[in-house]
C-alpha cells in the first residue's frame, strides 16, 4: 500500500493552486482509466487518482505553465554551456 501524500507536498507542483491540482489529477486519472501507461511504478491495485497524485508529486505530470517554465530554464542553462 502506498503512503498518502499531504497536500502541502503536492501544491508546489500545481503552482500553489488547489483548483489546478484537482484538475491536473482528475485529467491524469481519466487518462489512466482510459488505458494510458503509468509513469511511476505502483501496484495495479492502486486507484487511478492515487497513481495520478504520485505522478504529480514525482514531477512526471505537470501544469502547462510549469512545463513551459522548466523548458525555459533548461534552454537558458544549455545556452550558458
Domains of the chain: 7-80 (3.90.940.10)
- Look at residue 19 in the predicted model and tell me its pLDDT: 96
- Look at residue 81 in the predicted model and tell me its pLDDT: 64
Q: What is the pTM of this model?
A: 0.80
- What is the rounded CA–CA span in Å between residue 70 and residue 66? 6
pLDDT lower than 50: segments of the chain: 1
- Look at residue 47 in the predicted model and tell me its pLDDT: 94
Enumerate the H helices of the chain as residue ranges. Answer: 7-10, 18-33, 48-57, 64-80
Amino acid at each position: 500500500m502506498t503512503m498518502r501524500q499531504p497536500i502541502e507536498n503536492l501544491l508546489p507542483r500545481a503552482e500553489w493552486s488547489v483548483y489546478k491540482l484537482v484538475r491536473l489529477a482528475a485529467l491524469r486519472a481519466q487518462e489512466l482509466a482510459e488505458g494510458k501507461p503509468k509513469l511511476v511504478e505502483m501496484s495495479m491495485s492502486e486507484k487511478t487518482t492515487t497513481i495520478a497524485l504520485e505522478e504529480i508529486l514525482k514531477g512526471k505530470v505537470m501544469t502547462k505553465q510549469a512545463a513551459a517554465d522548466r523548458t525555459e530554464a533548461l534552454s537558458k542553462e544549455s545556452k550558458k554551456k
